[in-house]
């Protein structure tokens, strides 16, 4: 089923994200974690696409297994910065052959040392989106950045480029993680004002590992509020306490979003079924 059709239903949708293993040896563990996440009956499960081909070959297979073996709609991520146009199109063909209707179309990060992608590549996500539209009847998602994309110093330009991207045929947007809902509300206000009207799925990251998170936030430019710093300071070195606090913080963010009328939420569950399950338990009455 197309995600955009699900989003039209009058109910709260929770979806999860998983990532493929770094090597083929890890595939069984990822499939087993995904199976447990699928049992939580999410609206869909998204599967990331590794830059540079490394983990990317498993994306299509895992997305296909989610639909055919686990009975849940899947969203396959696809990036273009590290591949030729021909390589990207061959992945689109495989997705079509597997009956995957939902693609999250991304540029991906530019590989280190490369000034800008070569000419036989798509330079930006909007070019990829235009191409996917020509290839079939896909439901297309794209990324957006409530705090602005890290490469773009000018937030207004970032929103203008986002509008250009959406106008190329994007059905819905998913946000980069954020830890202060006020940033999301402000972003929604600004993009709606610029005429971006597609559904926006806030991306919520339950933080269960403090070191990894500090590094990721630095790279992506995500602001960590003081309240979150206090949690990292107090529980960062105690993995089980950090996990509990991270789940509680994410739950709190989600409840606030739902209370403020946002009905679709995407959770960066990072192949951790126990984290996904704990959040669903915390929300059980809210989702009823």
Report angle CA 49, 55, 60 to the nearest 5 degrees. 60
Residue number with CB closer to ligand FAD (84 or 152)? 152
Residue count (the chain):
288
Decide if residue 204 touches ligand FAD (CB under 6 A).
Answer: no
For residue 271, which of 32, 22, 111 has the smallest C-alpha distance? 32
Alpha-carbon 77 to chain mean position: 8
Is 17 annotated as catalytic? Answer: yes
Give the nearest distance from C-beta 79 to ligand FAD in angstroms. 5
Residue number with CB closer to ligand FAD (59 or 210)? 59
Decide if residue 143 touches ligand FAD (CB under 6 A).
Answer: yes
Q: Pick one of 39, 85, 131, 161: the residue that binds ligand FAD (CB under 6 A).
A: 161
Decide if residue 176 touches ligand FAD (CB under 6 A).
Answer: yes
Q: How many residues bind ligand FAD (CB under 6 A)?
A: 23
Q: DSSP of 124-178, one letter per residue?
A: SHHHHHHHHHHHSS-EEEEEE-TT--TT-S-HHHHHHHHHHHHHTT--EEEEPP-
* Cα distance between residue 207 and residue 248, in whole Å: 10
Share in percent of the chain as helix, strand, coil (round to 5)? 50, 15, 40
Radius of gyration of the chain (CA): 18
* Cα distance between residue 131 and residue 120, in whole Å: 13
Residue carrying structure tokens 């052959």 = 97
Q: Pick one of 28, 118, 151, 167: the residue that binds ligand FAD (CB under 6 A).
A: 151
Residue number with CB closer to ligand FAD (13 or 77)? 77
| Secondary structure of residue 100 in the 3-state scheme | coil
Residues 48-77 binding ligand FAD (CB under 6 A) are 48-49, 51, 77
Residues 225-264 binding ligand FAD (CB under 6 A) are none
Give the nearest distance from C-beta 156 to ligand FAD in angstroms. 10
* Cα distance between residue 148 and residue 156, in whole Å: 9
Q: Pick one of 174, 208, 253, 271: the residue that binds ligand FAD (CB under 6 A).
A: 174
* Cα distance between residue 31 and residue 192, in whole Å: 38
Whole-Å CA distances, 78 to 32, 169, 205: 23, 15, 20
Residue range at the interface with ligand FAD (CB under 6 A); choices 31-39, 124-132, 209-217, 277-285: 124-132
Residue number with CB closer to ligand FAD (199 or 236)? 199
Site string for ligand FAD, 83-122 (x = CB under 6 A): -----------------------xxxx-------------
Q: Which residues bind ligand FAD (CB under 6 A)?
A: 48-49, 51, 77, 79, 106-109, 124-126, 143, 149, 151-152, 158, 161, 164-165, 174, 176, 203
- Catalytic residue set: 17
């Amino acid at each position: 089923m197309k995600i955009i059709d699900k989003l039209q239903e009058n109910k709260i949708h929770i979806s999860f994200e998983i990532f493929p293993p770094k090597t083929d040896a890890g595939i069984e563990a990822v499939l087993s974690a995904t199976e447990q996440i699928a049992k939580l009956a999410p609206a869909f499960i998204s599967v990331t696409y590794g830059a540079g081909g490394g983990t990317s070959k498993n994306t299509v297979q895992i997305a296909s297994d989610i639909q055919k073996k686990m009975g849940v709609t899947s969203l396959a991520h696809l990036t273009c910065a590290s591949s030729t146009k021909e390589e990207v199109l061959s992945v689109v063909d495989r997705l079509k052959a597997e009956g995957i209707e939902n693609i999250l179309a991304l540029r991906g990060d530019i590989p280190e040392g490369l000034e800008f992608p070569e000419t036989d590549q798509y330079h930006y996500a909007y070019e990829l989106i235009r191409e996917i539209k020509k290839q079939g009847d896909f439901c297309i998602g794209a990324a957006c950045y409530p705090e602005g994309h890290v490469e773009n110093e000018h937030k207004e330009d970032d929103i203008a480029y986002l509008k250009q991207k959406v106008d190329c045929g994007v059905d819905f947007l998913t946000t980069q993680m954020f830890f202060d809902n006020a940033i999301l509300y402000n972003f929604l206000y600004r993009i709606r004002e610029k005429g971006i009207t597609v559904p926006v799925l806030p991306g919520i990251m339950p933080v269960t590992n403090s070191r990894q998170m500090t590094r990721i936030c630095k790279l992506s430019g995500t602001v960590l509020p003081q309240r979150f710093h206090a949690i990292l300071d107090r529980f960062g070195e105690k993995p089980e306490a950090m996990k509990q606090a991270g789940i509680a913080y994410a739950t709190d963010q989600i409840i606030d979003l739902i209370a403020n009328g946002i009905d679709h939420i995407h959770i960066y569950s990072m192949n951790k079924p126990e984290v996904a399950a704990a959040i669903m338990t915390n929300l059980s009455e809210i989702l009823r």
